[in-house]
Structure 1
Amino acid sequence: MENYIYFSYLANLCAYSVLFLYAVLRKNRNWAFIVAMLFVMLWSASILRTTQEHEFFLADALVFETLRNAALFLLLTAMLNKLLHGGGYWRIVRSKSALSVTLIILFTISIESFPDLLEIIQQSSGVDPRFYSHVIFAIFGLILTEQLYRNTPLNLRWNLKYLCLGAGALFAIDLIVYSKSLLYKNLDIPLWQSRGIINALIAPVLALALPRLDSISNQTTFSISRKTTFYTTILIGCGVYLILMSATGFYLKQVNAEWGESIQTIFVFLAILILVISFTSGKIRALAKVYFGKHFFHYSYDYREEWLKISQALAKLESLDELKHFIITTLTDLVESSGGGLWLKNDQGQFFLAAEHNLRLTQQELASLKTAPQLPRYLSQKQWVIDFYELAHAPEVYDDIDLTPWCYEDSEVWLIVPLFHLNHLEAFAVLTQPRARRKLNWEDHDLLKTVGMQLANALALNRASEALANNKQFETYHRLSAYLVHDLKNIAAQLSLVVRNAAKHKHNPDFFDDTIDTLNHAVSKMQHIVEQLKQGKSSGSSATLTNLVDVITKIERQHNGTPAFTFETELIDCMIKADQTKLISVITNLIQNAQDASQKPDGWVKLVLSKQADYAVLKIMDNGIGMEPSFIAERLFKPFDTTKGNAGMGIGAYEARDFILKNAGQLDVQSQPGHGTTFTIQLPLS
């Protein structure tokens, strides 16, 4: 056996001597690498001395192995520091981790150099601390190697591949040797004697690594990634686990000497089984990744970059339609969805489909989204992203809501993303299945909610801008009214002048000509004023008891327009309490709108009056061009938004709804493009 150990470590000494000379004779000398190879040579020589001189023991070579480990640590840390800070050993000396490792190395050198100190520790603790120290060194070396490789940029990993491979192999062999020795409290001689040859076989790998180290740039920097933290922590955990397992196994063996071997064997089997189960458990790995991902270093998404990118894109939008389509494309691009739709909240708090892109939903699914009040309520309460992939695998998460209308095998619904502004649900987006099915993690959900919040803020800002614009338009309208009053005052002054001069000049033909011209001018200006004030507000009297049958009959006699409307009712009286003048104006405006929409040979407008419970119900029906649902939801009752061009001011429908709501009534609109419109007015009976 002595001859085998001798030739094994002699081969190791020869291999690393050649490698040392190669490193020294090169033009670009890497001094950390040279020092590391020098201590490897000293360590091999010390073991050779123990095999030839009987007054020395293998334990006497452990101090040189500790120095070898320290030199290898220095080499790996120097390369890591070169990537991180561009060089300089002072940063290594100042780091807290370097100080801790240095103290452990000095302690290990002390107990390995002074047998009396080692004996005192062994008598007081009952364990050999040298095995623990070398297991820690092996684990720390693997951690350094793993950090160096994983944090090296992809374009530079080629340069460090062989160095990490060689150093990792050296420390892996040490971990196997000392963890087994720690378990059985004796140095594993078969592994020890083979380690020399194994180390010698690693020398060519390190020789290949040396030239590649020259091209590592001093300016290269890196950041610690989430994977690095995860795998480094796993290595530390494995090391701690092995140490605890060895210590516990040794304790069990000592407590029961008779059954010690059997108990130790059973314990080792169970410990390895638990370790294998932990590594192969998908749930444990997922929980570990989420925990380390949330609490260590950087994330999968650069939230600052995403926020700035969306903010810059929002600043370029000029209309609500552009914003709606931008919301859909932004959310679909984030999770690589194939399409989506946006449901906005109108003034009545109801959600409607405002925009869509490649939304492949069935009519039944769309109808369910429209008539499902529990969905907005659930989104407001939970503030979750509803994930139908998660629903399929963990249905208990969504016990509080019935999602069966969209939960079947071929459904295209994948995600429902709420958009909140000040904790109020402003809208929600439905995203369809991606081209490649994928499972979203917590970061994807957080990003969707964060982006949804920003997009909801943009929607709220757009609505506030519209409200401000409406107020300005009202202000402009009032200013226009003042101008019109001024014009009426001028017309009245002109006509007054004609009247005053009539007695004096009524027999003068020229006076009659001037009078006709003045009247023509006055009529022209008054017609212009009437056209502008046709749908404007007028001052009315207070609410009085009014017979709705008489009001509509009066409108039928006085109102002109084509097509003429018909009035149908079986009622003799239908008493309500309202401002009669304003009521006539509102009904007249709605009739005029119906006539304008039915300008065709077979066009018709019909009024039907009835009673329903405690309400008078008036339906104004036509077979005109009809309206889109989006137009009804967004534009019909918006002031100053008209489709008649200069012919209208766009406040007729707004004024009608405002009057009806103030009188505790309801106004409902049903329309279909090309098939006419029905306005249903409900006013409480008196």
Structure 2
Amino acid sequence: MENYIYYSYLTASVAYGLLLVFVIFNKNRHYPFIIAVLCSAIWSTSVTFATKSSHHFFADTLAHETIRNGSWFFLLGALLSKQRYNNYKQLFLGRTSIAITALVLIILSLESFPQSLKLATSIMDTDPRFAGHVVFAVLGLILVEQLYRSTPLKQRWNLKFLCVSLGAVFAVDLLVYSKSLLFNHLDFALWQSRGITNALITPFLAITSTRLKLNSGGTELTTPRKTIFYTTILFGCGVYLILMSFAGFYIKRANTEWGETAQAVFIFLALLLLIVPFTSGKIRALTKVYFSKHFFHYSYDYREEWLKISKALAKLESLEELKGFIISTLTDLVESTGGGLWLKNDQGRFFLAAEQNLRLTPQEIDYLHNVGDLPLYLANKQWVIDFFELSHAPEVYDDIDLSPWCYEDSQVWLIVPLFHLNKLEAFVVLTQARVPRKLNWEDHDLLKTVGMQLANALALNRASEELANNRQFETYHRLSAFLVHDLKNLVAQISLIVRNAEKHKHNPDFFDDTIDTLNNVVKKMHHIVEQLKQGEPQAATNSVVNLATIVRSIAQQHLGSPPVTLDTNLDECPVSADKIKLTNILTNLVQNAQDATRNSDGWVKLELTKNQDYAQIKIMDNGVGMNQQFISERLFKPFDTTKGNAGMGIGAYEARDYIIKNSGHIRVDSKPGMGTTFTIQLPLAKRISDTPKELRN
């Protein structure tokens, strides 16, 4: 046996030596890894010398093994810290790291100083070194498990061989020292094989040294729940094993005659204590749900699922695409063969809006259309209806009658509600899965979470559609308002003719003016009809017009009460504008001035001048006037009028909007009781005589 131990650990020494040379000269140097390999080589070499030396014993090599374990702990801790905090040092600042370091130092001191070991042994009545190395093995397995589980899937290939190798080393150590602790002496049959097992893992460690590159961004981290679960499981196994070993040892020590029998009975009872709970379906189910929900590693990466669906939703351009996406998303999540989407209409009733391979009978679809209890049930319970669960636990769904779907060949499997702000927006009926399966709590949570995201998309789409409709209505109302405003001005012109007809009907000039006014009204009416045909205001078409002619025509048409007087000596004043639009604007301002001066001494004046760059029109009256606050806040605000039902409140707004768009300026000067002056400036165009005939008005 001595030769076997010698060659076993000699093989490990050579293997670790070669590995040390390899990692030192490797370009991708990782110093904690180099230190761990060096300590492993020292440990295996010390055991090799102990087999041939009469002055050293195998127990003396336990200190070297403790140093080896500490070095591997340091490596695993550094890698864990890098994964979780993107910093090699962060993890070592915690209390757990300090406690592990303290434990290593305590065991190392016991193994290095015989007096301390003798004192501890007398107090504990057993060798504390075996217990210490059992704890080391459990800690090593915990760290290996944590490192593997904390590493993102795409990066696990970097650490796969490291975790497998160290997991095997610590598992063998756990077996060796737990049995040694039970019998209170080193189990040489198992201990001698560790040299070979350590030699066998060195090729895997060599591969690891070339791959040891963790994420530098530190963005893919794991959740704390997963860490707690695996720590709890391994720690529980280690505590159970230690307690069982101590109990078996003391039972055996208590009475040598029946110690072996008592030990066997104890082990049997311990196994029975484990087997009985796990053979109980109820206990097993409750335990599985509790640990799965609070500690177990999630089957789904919720962040990844959420981002994936969000990116897909951003690419959709229509409601029809969204309907199909909702069904396909939910069917893909649970591997369903098909489904249908029921949306809520304006009356609050649900209807089949889209389907994909929905293999339901007409009676089932009619029931979904007409049923009133199902939406109410979904809104109150806010959970997924699972017909597989219904068949095995019907008491869960006592509050609703689902019998129309409860027959042998029914294809209905799941009914998934979609909630937005706790209101049921829609629900999806999914048919049977491609491969029959039972959904767990995590599947249900994922369906509800995805359902909320899809409901948000539906609500956003509905809001966008309502906004688009409101914009269409706004355009329609805006068009209507401008058309009614133009019609009001035309009616005012015709009313002026009617009011003056009795007084001037024998005046030939009055008839000439009347014909001109009616001709202008007809042109404007044709323009309004064309706008109604187009469905929206036509863009103004500018041309060079004679502003002097337009102003004279407006003054001639407003000879009523009070009459409009014109002050100008210009025969030609060319500006670039739409003649009909500009005429309407000036006519409206003149009409407003007349409305503001309904007294016996009221007057309205039109004044037209020009300078080198601009034509200037002033519309002046001595009416009621306006204060500065009204001019600043209300005068140019659309649909705000002081005339009650007689006004539209868009004349001044339309005038300013058109003049500014044509690079002009408008200014208002007014005081209450002293009248108002509108000053309009428009850029001059070329002379009328220089303008092509086809552009003249």
Aligned equivalent of 1:483: 483
Aligned equivalent of 1:7: 3
Amino acid at match of 2:371: A
Unmatched segments (≥5 aa) in structure 1:
533-686
Report which of the two structures shows the higher radius of gyration computed on alpha carbons: 2
Q: Is the 8 A contact 1:36 1:75 kept in 2?
A: no
Task: Tell me how far 1:169 sits from its aligned partner.
Answer: 3.7
Q: Is the 8 A contact 2:360 2:411 kept in 1?
A: yes
Deviations 1:252-286 (A, max 9, x none): 55677775543432221121244456678888777
Q: Is the 8 A contact 2:161 2:208 kept in 1?
A: no
Amino acid at match of 1:453: M
Q: 1:460 to 1:32 in 2, by over 3 A?
A: closer
Amino acid at match of 1:108: I
Q: Is the 8 A contact 1:418 1:428 kept in 2?
A: yes
Aligned equivalent of 1:205: 200
Q: Secondary structure at the match of 2:413?
A: strand
Task: Tell me how far 1:305 sits from its aligned partner.
Answer: 4.3
Amino acid at match of 1:28: F
Aligned equivalent of 1:112: 111
Deviations 1:297-353 (A, max 9, x none): 974444444444444544555544444334333333333333222222223322222
Unmatched segments (≥5 aa) in structure 2:
27-33, 534-697
Aligned equivalent of 1:192: 188
Q: 1:174 to 1:326 in 2, by over 3 A?
A: closer
Aligned equivalent of 2:49: 45
Q: Secondary structure at the match of 1:364?
A: helix
Q: 1:494 to 1:194 in 2, by over 3 A?
A: closer
Q: 1:497 to 1:316 in 2, by over 3 A?
A: farther
Which whole-Å CA distance do the structure 2 matches of 1:199 and 1:428 have between them? 61
Q: Is the 8 A contact 1:337 1:432 kept in 2?
A: yes
Instruction: Give matches, 1:573-612, under 5 Å.
Output: none
Q: 1:83 to 1:486 in 2, by over 3 A?
A: closer
Which whole-Å CA distance do the structure 1 matches of 2:78 and 2:482 have between them? 83
Q: Is the 8 A contact 1:159 1:209 kept in 2?
A: no
Q: 1:284 to 1:224 in 2, by over 3 A?
A: farther
Q: 1:22 to 1:280 in 2, by over 3 A?
A: farther
Q: Does 2:131 correspond to 1:136?
A: no
Q: Is the 8 A contact 1:419 1:453 kept in 2?
A: yes
Which whole-Å CA distance do the structure 2 matches of 1:160 and 1:308 have between them? 27
Task: Tell me how far 1:8 sits from its aligned partner.
Answer: 3.2
Task: Tell me how far 1:383 sits from its aligned partner.
Answer: 0.7
Aligned equivalent of 2:393: 394
Amino acid at match of 2:5: Y
Tell me the percent identity. 53
Which whole-Å CA distance do the structure 1 matches of 2:157 and 2:315 have between them? 44
Which whole-Å CA distance do the structure 1 matches of 2:135 and 2:456 have between them? 54
Match of 2:25 among 5, 28, 35: 28
Q: 1:24 to 1:174 in 2, by over 3 A?
A: closer
Deviations 1:620-662 (A, max 9, x none): xxxxxxxxxxxxxxxxxxxxxxxxxxxxxxxxxxxxxxxxxxx
Aligned equivalent of 1:447: 446
Deviations 1:15-73 (A, max 9, x none): 23322442455462744312211122213434554xx45xx766555434433433444
Q: Secondary structure at the match of 1:420?
A: strand
Which whole-Å CA distance do the structure 2 matches of 1:467 and 1:171 have between them? 65
Q: Is the 8 A contact 1:290 1:442 kept in 2?
A: yes
Which whole-Å CA distance do the structure 2 matches of 1:345 and 1:485 have between them? 41
Instruction: Give matches, 1:484-563, under 5 Å.
Output: 484=484, 487=487, 490=490, 494=494
Q: Does 2:66 correspond to 1:66?
A: yes
Q: 1:449 to 1:204 in 2, by over 3 A?
A: same
TM-score, normalised relative to structure 2: 0.61
Deviations 1:582-618 (A, max 9, x none): xxxxxxxxxxxxxxxxxxxxxxxxxxxxxxxxxxxxx
Q: Does 2:324 correspond to 1:325?
A: yes
Q: Secondary structure at the match of 2:401?
A: coil
Instruction: Give matches, 1:63-212, under 5 Å.
Output: 63-74=63-74, 94=93, 96-148=95-147, 164-184=163-183, 186-187=184-185, 191-196=187-192, 198-212=193-207
Task: Tell me how far 1:376 sits from its aligned partner.
Answer: 0.9
Which whole-Å CA distance do the structure 2 matches of 1:232 and 1:131 have between them? 22
Q: 1:113 to 1:283 in 2, by over 3 A?
A: farther
Aligned equivalent of 1:342: 341
Task: Tell me how far 1:134 sits from its aligned partner.
Answer: 1.7
Which whole-Å CA distance do the structure 1 matches of 2:355 and 2:149 have between them? 43
Which whole-Å CA distance do the structure 2 matches of 1:92 and 1:465 have between them? 49
Aligned equivalent of 1:623: none
Q: 1:111 to 1:282 in 2, by over 3 A?
A: farther
Q: 1:71 to 1:466 in 2, by over 3 A?
A: closer
Aligned equivalent of 1:659: none
Aligned equivalent of 2:358: 359
Q: 1:207 to 1:498 in 2, by over 3 A?
A: closer
Alignment RMSD, CA only? 4.7
Q: 1:217 to 1:117 in 2, by over 3 A?
A: closer
Q: Secondary structure at the match of 1:170?
A: helix
Q: Secondary structure at the match of 1:352?
A: strand
Q: Is the 8 A contact 2:169 2:198 kept in 1?
A: no
Task: Tell me how far 1:381 sits from its aligned partner.
Answer: 0.8
Which whole-Å CA distance do the structure 1 matches of 2:347 and 2:83 have between them? 61
More moved, 250-259 vs 229-238: 250-259
Which whole-Å CA distance do the structure 2 matches of 1:83 and 1:478 have between them? 61
Which whole-Å CA distance do the structure 2 matches of 1:116 and 1:353 have between them? 84
Aligned equivalent of 2:552: none
Q: Secondary structure at the match of 2:351?
A: strand
Task: Tell me how far 1:125 sits from its aligned partner.
Answer: 4.4
Q: Is the 8 A contact 2:148 2:160 kept in 1?
A: yes
Q: Secondary structure at the match of 2:352?
A: strand
Aligned equivalent of 2:13: 17
Q: Is the 8 A contact 1:8 1:193 kept in 2?
A: no
Q: 1:63 to 1:468 in 2, by over 3 A?
A: closer
More moved, 447-456 vs 123-132: 123-132
Q: 1:128 to 1:488 in 2, by over 3 A?
A: same
Aligned equivalent of 2:560: none
Which whole-Å CA distance do the structure 1 matches of 2:21 and 2:479 have between them? 94
Q: Secondary structure at the match of 1:414?
A: strand
More moved, 462-471 vs 139-148: 462-471
Amino acid at match of 1:19: A
Deviations 1:58-103 (A, max 9, x none): 6555434433433444565566678778996x56754544432221
Q: 1:126 to 1:169 in 2, by over 3 A?
A: same
Which whole-Å CA distance do the structure 2 matches of 1:460 and 1:235 have between them? 47
Task: Tell me how far 1:378 sits from its aligned partner.
Answer: 0.8
Q: Is the 8 A contact 1:361 1:412 kept in 2?
A: yes
Amino acid at match of 1:192: F
Task: Tell me how far 1:403 sits from its aligned partner.
Answer: 1.5
Q: Secondary structure at the match of 1:417?
A: strand
Deviations 1:496-552 (A, max 9, x none): 9589589979xxxx99xx99x99x979x99x989x99xxxxxxxxxxxxxxxxxxxx
Q: Is the 8 A contact 1:160 1:212 kept in 2?
A: no
Deviations 1:410-464 (A, max 9, x none): 2222221212222221222212223333333333322322232233333334444
More moved, 489-498 vs 446-455: 489-498
Which whole-Å CA distance do the structure 2 matches of 1:471 and 1:149 have between them? 56
Q: 1:87 to 1:206 in 2, by over 3 A?
A: farther
Task: Tell me how far 1:242 sits from its aligned partner.
Answer: 0.8
